[in-house]
Amino acid sequence: MTVIDHNVPSTWAQTLTAPLKAALQNPWVESIVRLGAVEDSLRALHPMLSLSTVRARVVRIAQETADTKTFVLQPNALWNGALAGQFVRVRVEIKGRQVERVYSLSSRPGARRLAITVKRQPGGLVSNYLHEHTQVGDVLTLSQAAGDFVLPAQLPAKLLLLSAGSGITPVMALLRDLQARQYAGDLVFFHACRTPADAIFAQALDGMALSFPALKRITHFTATAARLTPDTLRWAVPDLDQRATWMCGPSAFMEAVHGLWQDAAIAAPLHSERFATTPLLPASSPGTPVKVRCAASAQDFTTRGGDALLVQAERAGLSPKHGCRIGICRSCQCTKTSGTVENLQTSELSSAPNELIRLCISAARSDVTLDL
């Protein structure tokens, strides 16, 4: 695959579009023509055209396993590139509604084409839509890359990459980055999944093993070797405490590994990527109805139960922008101009005016006004 310096088109696009975007956002100009109207017109001309939004055409779809697909994307010139291990927010329109979800990039940095690998989730709105409806030639809307699950510039002498299930997605990007950087240290990649048929990227990893001499692979199949335990990991990687580790997988898996690090007082660094929310705490005042005023839409509603503001707003017929729904991507972030909210992850109450809150993990505890 031809590699193109992703900074060149990005810099060119920003140089060209930034002054035009700024001019369109001038209050005097905005009173005549909205930036949104210009964006709509550009999209009508060509689905990839935008002054401010990364759009990416699907150029290839690879079936990794029975329930996992990789979507290879060609972004427009506004894409700023990414570091291995980072994620993007993917926005699609489903039945007239804009919906976002967070997906890790599985491609290596530096390539003009990028990739997301999506495991189909039972009842998952976006994952099922992508699997059933997205075809080569379709255009998706992306955020710029974000996240700090990345490798340092100065690589450790001994590394462990640890993943389970679909948690292999960002770890695969790290592996591809290490191969591109010709890492010559001591590298162990340990992956756990149910069966060989569930092994995502199996073919790509087989090819990588032939051309990447630093790579040592260990695969644990839970259907035949039982659930992965800290003792199993200790046995498979006896020098665990000497390896800087990057880990991604289901919450229970990662909590067990974090517990091993704590119980054994392992000093080697452990980095983890977590796409599962901290369990929501019981609301302090469940069922107490309060009024929520949405200043931007002039639509008010009264809460029912102790659910998060995002859920309450959707019950009231509103469609706030959102992504992960678990407090990670910040797509649903908005300004609370007044009132008290409770963080459902920490149980912290806040009454500060004009503060940014995430609707998906915030519950109203008094009458609240939102810039929504």
DSSP states along 51-105: SS-EEEEEEEEEEEETTEEEEEEEE-TT-----TT-EEEEEEEETTEEEEEEEEB
Tell me how far apart the terminal alpha carbons of the chain are, to the nearest angstrom.
Answer: 44
Q: Write out the E strands in 105-164.
A: 114-119, 139-142, 158-164
- Sorted by sequence, the CB contacts under 8 Å of residue 37 that are 6+ apart come out as none
This prediction's pTM: 0.72
Per-block mean pLDDT, blocks of 10 residues, the chain (372 long): 35 52 50 53 66 90 97 94 93 84 92 92 91 96 91 96 96 96 96 96 95 95 90 94 95 90 93 64 65 87 87 87 77 89 84 90 91 88
- Residues 11, 5: Cα–Cα separation, whole Å: 11
> By CB neighbour count within 10 A (0-12 exposed, 13-18 middle, 19+ buried), where does 290 fall?
middle
pLDDT value at residue 28:
44
- Residues 200, 193: Cα–Cα separation, whole Å: 9
Both structure tokens of 157: 């002498």
Q: Crossing angle for the helix pair 168-180 and 202-211, nearest 10 degrees?
A: 20
* CA–CA distances in Å: residue 266 to residues 245, 263, 271: 11, 8, 13
- Residues 292, 313: Cα–Cα separation, whole Å: 9
pLDDT value at residue 7:
37
pLDDT value at residue 112:
79
pLDDT value at residue 41:
65
